[in-house]
């Protein structure tokens, strides 16, 4: 590799690095809510990380309705793969397929997430 070729590679690497560094501040939300405005509904799509029990009503072996799932949830193992404490909107976001889901739940948010729906093999390592 000649000097000119090495110089071009180094030059473009530095330009790309600077471009990435200078554009890091652009990571802002697409929607900025005014102060004192609350989110009225949460609709969740995902895999087992956010599945609140939809898989209980699906023909699948991926279920979370046994221990250790639900060990710190007030109702015990309900099919939730997680306890949903981090959402902070409702006590828990109900499963769309739960027969106990009411119309009011649909207006304030439900979860369509389903365990084993993900395709990324790293999900199990990060959860």
Catalytic residue numbers read 48
Contact 46, 121 (CB under 8 A): no
Separation CA 84–CA 99 (nearest Å):
19
Separation CA 55–CA 64 (nearest Å):
8
Separation CA 68–CA 81 (nearest Å):
9
């Amino acid at each position: 590799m000649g000097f000119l070729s090495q110089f071009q590679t180094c030059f473009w690497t530095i330009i790309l690095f600077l471009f990435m560094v200078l554009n890091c501040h652009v990571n802002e939300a697409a929607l900025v809510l005014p102060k004192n405005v609350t989110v009225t509904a949460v609709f969740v799509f995902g895999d087992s990380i956010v599945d609140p029990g939809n898989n209980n009503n699906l023909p699948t072996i991926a279920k979370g309705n046994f221990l250790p799932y639900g060990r710190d949830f007030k109702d015990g193992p309900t099919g939730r793969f997680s306890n949903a404490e981090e959402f902070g909107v409702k006590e828990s976001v109900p499963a769309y397929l739960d027969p106990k889901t009411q119309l009011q739940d649909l207006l304030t948010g439900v979860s369509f997430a389903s365990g084993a729906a993900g395709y990324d093999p790293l999900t199990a390592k990060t959860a």
